[in-house]
Chains A and B, each alone.
Chain A
Amino acid sequence: MNQFDVIIVGAGAGGGVLAGLLSEGGKRVLLLEKGRNAPGYADVGRDHLRNQRLSQYGVNAGPDDLAGDPRVFENFRTGNAVPVLAHEGGYSHNAFIVGGGTRVYGAQAWRFHPLDFRMATTYGVPEGSSLADWPLDYAELAPFYARAERELGVAGDADAMAHLPRYESPYPMPPVTPDTIPRRTLHAGATTLGWRTNPVPLAINSIPYNGRPACIHCPECVGFACPVDAKNGSQNTLITRAALTGRCTLVAEATVSRLEQDDSGKVTGVSYFNREGVPFSAQADVVVVAGSAVETARLLLLSGIGGDHVGRHLQGHYYPSVYGRFETDVNDGVGPGPAIATCEFSHGNEGVIGGAMLANDFVVLPAMFWKRSTPSGLHRWGAAAKEWMRVNYRRIFQVCGPVQEIPSPDSRVTLDPDVRDKYGIPVARISGATHMETVRTSAFMFDRAREWLVASGAVETWGTPPGQYSSGGQHQAGTCRMGDDPSTSVTDRNCRVHGHSNLYIGDGSVHVTNGGFNPFLTIMALAYRTADHILREH
């Protein structure tokens, strides 16, 4: 039996929400996921050298067959293009697993700022960029943010979110990490600077919620599954709800190769390969593509759907990061880590477009700190290097934040003419780079991060502001941007692909701009809204 009401391609943040709501709304849903299902803590690897944050030798949340799922990375400066695997630079990797990125993320659950939806009106459009307004605004999305926060389970302090319009209702849980040494240290520094701060909202249980326990404050959050399942992803919330209806069929390790259409252009279903490489097809009245910005663009391109803007405006978040070294132990190892943020520089920065939220980072793993984050000039071996780590690993922490990128139409996903995946399907080719204005905003935010650490007592700071590069990765977005005008966008304001009455996008591809915040809550809020629309219209 291969006829469904809805087929959803991708069981990540957005795909999971749509699966849950559409199943509960009475639809028979086929949820196809390219990665494996890994519901248990031991099902997701915990190697400090093979995870989403440090993929030195591999990845822990898919793809499981690295050589079978290459992409091609084209260096925008030299034009040189090489095949890359998921753990290598240039791949623009997000997870391939049930739950998607939410299976292993750090769960920073931010709403976008109202001005994030109005970037062109607010700042003008820099030459060569594709900065644009969204066709909808914060007020329209607010009720869906509230639903996502309540149903996923977000812990925070709504009264402290001074940069946003007043929340309709409080967060369902108080902040996860009420007090840590980094929090106290940065709070004191912010006070001397006159900056307002707020607890970092996290989709992590601070009290038992939805039948699962509270966070145990381990130091291995971001990049790994949660040992007590206190971290809320789509896999243990909305997808569980979908399964409970009996109307949702989840097929993992299924690679969709094409969206099928009839002669009139109406999408009729999908073709896919199962884990053994056997081809299947399934039909549905409605199809939702939610494979994250790179794979969703790839699928639409493979299917000849969506027009010239498919794949363009690929963006993520530049992450200027500054380490501060203190003269006492400050890295107390109390997880998850992010406890205090400031949104003083999200907007309104003189001479700079946009800005970013800044917060202290997740507890840094020793191996990752050693590989990526020691000050330059430090010797890499011997007794002195070992002693430096013994003393200073506990005397450092990092402040960083997601810079709102100024997108470029040339930062894009196309189909590679030569390289194929294990099923013989053309792979995604990543080319171009984010607009240079992003580098200026990043430099500004780097200085603010350093200012915060110094005001908080750091005796030494270091880091490298990002230079221009092709962004995407874990926060990938933009490749099927929404808009009212079909000549400059891929989907309408309801995330429906222009010209296709029954085809929707359910991931960050639709983001016109990607906010100065982690994007998953916005992806989920949009998915809630799209689900409501589908239930009304189909």
Chain B
Amino acid sequence: MMPTNELFPAQEMRTLFAVADRIVPSDQNGLGHLLGELAPGGVLYGHRDACQSFLTRLNAESGGDFTALPSDGQDDLLKRMEIIPETAQPFRQIVEWVTEGFYASPVGWDFVGFRPVDRETR
């Protein structure tokens, strides 16, 4: 099984973590769902090329490195990506994957005050 931190080249992986941090600020747990499903055998495996292309494009639009921008600069750039035709759909998909993963996980449950019977990740 491919370790999920090798899904994409190192810079794209750092960028993905940074993007997720803007989507659900200060929490990385939404990524567990997304990384698992982008891996071989995951339901989102067929989307990995489009996802990687988006991350590469994002770095290009950042002047080389999205992670080097300040937070509000990152947000401004993502808001532009959200409306440019070629990047809107991949970005919105990543938003859905990260947020649904967050709210379907114990950290998301704690955040909104949802208390299930057991906290095992499903």
Contacts and interface: CB of A to CB of B under 8 A. Distances in A.
A365 interface: yes
A445 B100 CA distance: 30
Among A45, A46, A58, A381, the one with the most B-chain Cβ atoms within 10 Å of its Cβ is A381
Interface string A201-218: 000000000000000101
Given A227-B117, A380-B92, A390 B111 contact: yes
A333 B100 contact: no
B41 interface: no
Contacts of B104: 47-49, 365-367
A219 B112 CA distance: 13
Interface stretch (B6-14, B19-27, B47-55): B19-27
Given A381-B24, A389-B103, A216 B117 contact: yes
Interface in A365-397: 365-367, 369-371, 380-383, 385-386, 389-390, 393-394
Size category, B interface: 20 to 34
A366 B103 contact: yes
B30 to A, nearest CB: 10
Contacts, number: 75
A46 B122 contact: yes
Given A48-B122, A49-B104, A219 B115 contact: yes
Contact of A381 (B23, B43, B116, B118): B23
B74 to A, nearest CB: 10
Given A381-B23, A382-B23, A220 B117 contact: yes
Contacts of A380: 92, 95-96, 99
Given A57-B43, A216-B117, A365-B114, A381 B100 contact: no
Interface in A211-257: 216, 218-220, 227
Interface of B is mostly: helix
A333 B113 contact: yes
A45 B122 contact: yes
Contacts of A383: 25
Interface of A is mostly: loop
B116 A367 contact: no
Contacts of A385: 99
Contact of B99 (A218, A220, A333, A381): A381
A118 B33 CA distance: 50
Contacts of B99: 370, 380-381, 385
Contacts of B25: 382-383, 386
Contacts of B122: 45-48
B2 to A, nearest CB: 19
B75 interface: yes
A36 to B, nearest CB: 18
Contacts of A49: 33, 100, 104
B95 A381 contact: yes
A389 to B, nearest CB: 6
B109 interface: yes
A192 interface: no
Interface of B: 22-25, 33, 37, 43, 75, 78, 92, 95-96, 98-100, 103-104, 108-109, 111-118, 122
Given A218-B117, A219-B116, A227-B118, 11 more contacts: A47-B104, A333-B113, A365-B104, A371-B100, A380-B95, A380-B99, A381-B23, A382-B22, A382-B75, A385-B99, A393-B112
7 contacts: A47-B104, A48-B103, A218-B117, A220-B117, A366-B114, A380-B92, A385-B99
